[in-house]
Amino acid sequence: MHKYAIIVAGGKGERMGASTPKQFLELNGKPILMHTLEKFRETDSSIEIIVALPENQIDFWEELFHKYQLSKVRHQIVKGGSTRFHSVQNALKLVKKDSLVAIHDGVRPLVSSETIERCFGGAEDKGNAIPVVEVVDSLRHYSKQDKTNEAVSRSCYRIVQTPQCFTSELILKAYEQEFDELFTDDATVVESLGERINLVEGNRSNIKITTSEDIIIAEAFMKQHSI
């Protein structure tokens, strides 16, 4: 089946305390977003990449693209929407039927090829697949209403990552729905149709870079794995 990767890159860098949007910050000599695109290209060169960017960032990205001489990673650009949901919705307009669609955060540059392959494979077998990793910290449930808290078993929880993969039939149908604030990721959009979400193994280093500390962690991972 034909494969698409929708890369959602709508960050503003506010939590970074930086004027440059976080997806354009340099990591190990390249913009974070470029590392992300290259990972999908290295995994499977046939994957059709679609990048959703805020309209006011498109020119800047194209300048970076030429500056770093990154023309080997071909991709299409679509204008992002007011929310992540609407950005994905715009990108899905380029997706053809009878395909597999991966939706990934632009600031997760350390996703492994194995994780990408597991997600596509799971979606092909079961209609959808999202990567998760086990929780290693202790957890407590906190009630905002009465300010109480209690310990919960971490074995019952998983940390969700991306790419989240779906058949085109399923994801196109899901994004015909009206936006709901309860949609926290693509899996919740699909789940609202009554679909069961299938979990596959992610990779621990597949962190979402949102703070300056995350860049330090990402660089350490890259050094450790010689990325």
**pLDDT value of position 12:** 57
Range of the domain at 116: 2-224
Question: How many structural domains compose the chain?
Answer: 1
What does the alpha-carbon distance between residue 51 and residue 47 come to, in Å, rounded to a whole number? 13
In the chain (227 residues long), the average pLDDT of successive 10-residue segments reads: 95 55 92 95 96 94 83 88 96 97 98 98 98 97 96 97 98 97 97 98 96 94 80
pLDDT at residue number 227 = 60
Residue among 60, 39, 35, 8 nearest 219 (CA): 35
Report, in angstroms and rounded to the nearest whole number, the Rg of the chain calculated over CA atoms: 18
In terms of DSSP H, where are the helices of the chain? 32-43, 58-67, 84-91, 113-126, 168-174, 186-191, 212-224
The CATH number for 143's domain is: 3.90.550.10
**pLDDT at residue number 125:** 98
